[in-house]
Amino acid sequence: MAAKDTLQAAQANRYVQRLVEDENLRSNLIAAYAAARSAYGRVGNGSSPAQALFEDTKLQDELKNAANALREATGSLREPPKAVKKRRRGRRRSLSLLIIGAALAIGLSSGLRSKVLDTLFGAEEEFDYSSSTAPSTPAPAGVSG
C-alpha cells in the first residue's frame, strides 16, 4: 500500500504535475544537472577545491551555467502554467477541402450542376415554341423586283 499512497501523493503534487507537463522546465533542470555534474568532475581534478574555484575559468563557467539553469527552472515553477493553445486547423482545413471539392464537382458534372440549379432556382419549364404569324412566302424565281 505504501507505493500506491506515494503514487497518489505524487500525482496530487502540483510541482510533479508541472515537471511532467512543462518541457521547458525539464530541459532547464537537465541542463543544470549536467553543468553541476561537469563542475563537480572539474573540482575533483587533483587540485584543492578552493584553488579550482578561483583559478579554473571553465569551472566558473559551468557553475554559472548551472546557476542560470536553476534560476530559470525556479522562475518557471513560480509562474502559472501557460495555457496550451488548441489548434483548430483541422476543422478549417476540412471545411475548405469540402468547399473546394463541391465547387469542382459542380463545375465538372453537368448533371450535378443542373440538379443544384433546379434546387436553387426551381425546375426549368420545358416548352415548344410555335409562331403565331404565318411565314412569309418567298418571291417567285423569275420575277425581279
134 within some domain:
no
Buried b (16+ CB within 10 A) or exposed e, 9-19: eeeeeeeeebe
36 within some domain:
yes
Print the domain residue range for 32.
9-78
Whether the Cβ atoms of residue 67 and residue 37 lie closer than 8 Å to each other: no
- For residues 18 and 40, state if they share a domain: yes
101 within some domain:
yes
pLDDT digits (tens, 9 = 90+) for 92-132: 888 888 888 888 888 888 888 888 888 887 777 766 777 77
Percentage of the chain beyond pLDDT 70 is: 85
Whether the Cβ atoms of residue 60 and residue 32 lie closer than 8 Å to each other: no
Per-residue model confidence (pLDDT) at position 145 = 53
Low-confidence ranges of the chain (pLDDT < 70): 1, 81-88, 126-127, 135, 138-145
Number of domains in the chain: 2
Of 54, 78, 102, the one marking the end of a domain is: 78
